[in-house]
Amino acid sequence: MANVKKQERTSLGDRWNNVKNYLRGVSNELKKVNWPSRGQLVAYTGVVLLAVALVALMIWLFDSLVSWLLDALFRAFT
């Protein structure tokens, strides 16, 4: 059987330093982000809401058509 080294437990201080380093890295990355202006944000939000509404309308129309066709089919054979 191969020699397996036991993983050493890290101390609480090491864990805290790891968390601080991680959060510092996250903060540095967020500073590099090119955030949209308020106008761009409003425009993009409007586009997304319009797209969602159109897709919902298409799904509703398709569902209504299929329901109507199935209802007509079942009435024809009952």
Using left for φ > 0, alpha for ψ between -120 and 50, and beta otherwise, residue 24 falls in alpha
Q: Is 52 domain-assigned?
A: yes
pLDDT digits (tens, 9 = 90+) for 34-76: 999 999 999 999 999 999 999 999 999 999 999 999 999 999 9
One-letter amino acid of 76: A
Q: Is 22 domain-assigned?
A: yes
Q: Is 70 domain-assigned?
A: yes
Q: What is the pTM of this model?
A: 0.60
Confidence band for 11, pLDDT divided at 50, 70 and 90: confident
Q: Is 1 domain-assigned?
A: no
Q: Is 5 domain-assigned?
A: no
Buried b (16+ CB within 10 A) or exposed e, 15-49: eeeeeeeeeeeeeeeeeeeeeeeeeeeeeeeeeee
